[in-house]
Amino acid sequence: MTLPEGLSAFDLTGRIALVTGSTRGLGRTIAEGLAAAGATVVVHGRTRDAAEVAAGQITAATGRTAHAAAFDVTSTLEVDGGIERIEQELGRIDVLVNNAGIQRRARIDEFADEDWDALVQTNLTAVFALSRRVSRAMIARGSGKIIQIGSVQSRLARPSIAAYSATKGAIVMFTRGLCADLGPHGIQANVIAPGYFETALTRALVSDETFSAWVRGRTPAGRWGDPRDLVGAAVFLASAAADFVNGQTLYVDGGMTAVV
């Protein structure tokens, strides 16, 4: 293989990618990164207006047409209907990035039922429902990529987020299960596990100087992650370059999980 042929394996031209929760935050940057690598992306959130605004910005930035989709990932009915509409409109989904996620914080003795339920629904059950739905057409075609967004909490615990950690740990094993079921059908499922990144989800932590200093000190890179730090991993796992990579978890965390 010559070098140019090797690099072309990363080209996403002709691939259709749905990134859930891409109206803002990590998903927004991942969607733009996939578009910059050639993919036709579907920007997604609960509200169509927000998805259309982000899709317009991605089209303007990359020159690639980005589409918008709106449905609540916590409703299996909405997931099935939403995927059906995208498949009808665009023909297929080659890449699913399960990024939509939420956080709820409280010490375990004070953790509310509704917060547990919301975390499990959004961070885990939705990943199941979306993966199940897109896998049907992927199996029929004999190809596809499913990428989950985990977390350093897929492996490491912190006070007040036991429930979030449970969901992020579970998707690692769920993804290995997808590998077992779908690998024989030419489909790869992997997890990107980000460290601490500045987004709406972590705004309170970023503005807490004590916590922010702890993140910088605990991370060998000495800084918070920039959402653009995730693009290389996402493009790789979405591309033919990762056709023999399956069931894996790639930590993009500035080295945090490698050290104590």
Question: Which spans of this chain sit near ligand NDP (rule: CB under 6 A)?
Answer: 20-27, 45-47, 50, 72-74, 99-102, 122, 149, 151, 194, 196-197, 199-202
Nearer to ligand NDP, 20 or 188 (CB): 20
CB of 201 to ligand NDP, least distance (A): 3
CB of 8 to ligand NDP, least distance (A): 29
Radius of gyration (C-alpha) of the chain in whole angstroms: 18
164 belongs to the catalytic site? yes
- 43: CB partners within 8 A, 6+ apart: 19, 22, 23, 28, 31, 51, 52, 54, 55, 58, 66, 67, 68, 69
CB of 193 to ligand NDP, least distance (A): 7
CB of 214 to ligand NDP, least distance (A): 14
CB of 87 to ligand NDP, least distance (A): 18
* Torsion, CA 82, CA 83, CA 85, CA 88, rounded to 10: 180
Cβ pair 253, 219 in contact under 8 A = yes
Sheet holding 67-70, edge to edge: 67-70, 40-45, 16-19, 95-98, 144-149, 187-194, 249-252
Nearer to ligand NDP, 171 or 179 (CB): 171
Q: Is 48 exposed, middle or buried (0-12, 13-18, 19+ CB in 10 A)?
A: middle
Nearer to ligand NDP, 74 or 246 (CB): 74
Q: Which of 164, 174, 224, 236 is an active site residue?
A: 164
Nearest to 86 by CA among 13, 187, 188, 18: 18
Nearer to ligand NDP, 201 or 240 (CB): 201
Nearer to ligand NDP, 46 or 218 (CB): 46
Report DSSP letters for 31-46, one per residue. Answer: HHHHHHTT-EEEEEES
Q: What are the catalytic residues?
A: 164
